[in-house]
Copies of this chain bind each other. A is one copy, B any other.
Amino acid sequence: MSKPTERDIAGIRARQAREDYNLFSRLPAVYAASRSQGQKFLQKGGGLSIVEWRTLWDLHEVGPMTIRDLATIQRADHSLLSRALPEMRRKGFVTMRRDVQDGRQTIVEIAEAGRAAYERAAPVMARRRAALHGVFSEEEIAAFVGYLDRMEEFLRIPIEEFLKEDTVE
């Protein structure tokens, strides 16, 4: 690290420091860290994947619902669930049946093995949430979520809105 190599170390440091304040660059990193930590906790709690955990948790908390309901709650694309569910059914985690009232919908319900897997993972995940609440107060979480709300709102503005204006602000 003392050898003079053909790059501008000070420039690199400076850029790094500046990028700390670039939200577009911070979000991927924070998300990746969150996913990674989540996967490790789940590993300790029986080996569920994140999608499996979220799905079992939702189904456990509110009962049977459609694929779309799950996607909406999880703020994810329906295709993610659509792809994960058949495997979960194979493992005996859930049952799936076509809705009688609306033939487009599939109703997903937690099953025996799913309940068992949930019970195994839940304590570890509860521990994680508790630890988070040891770091952030209620008010801080609300403030943080407020920023995320505003960020999300910004991110959902259709791109034309930005490019047509000649003056920003």
Q: Is the interface of A mostly helix, strand, loop or mixed?
A: helix
In the complex this chain forms, how many copies of it are found? Answer: 2
Q: A64-B6, A99-B6 are in contact. Are A26 and B75 (CB under 8 A)?
A: yes
Partner among B14, B23, B29, B131 whose Cβ is within 8 Å of the Cβ of A76: B29
Q: Report the Cα distance A141→B26, complex, angstroms.
A: 12
The interface of chain A, by Cβ under 8 A from chain B, is: 3-8, 11-12, 14-16, 19-38, 40-41, 44, 54, 58, 61-66, 69, 72-76, 99-102, 105, 107, 124, 127-136, 140-145, 147-148, 150-152, 154-157, 159, 162-163, 168-169
**10 closest Cβ contacts across the A-B interface?**
A29-B75, A31-B31, A11-B62, A33-B155, A134-B169, A130-B168, A144-B147, A7-B65, A5-B101, A27-B31
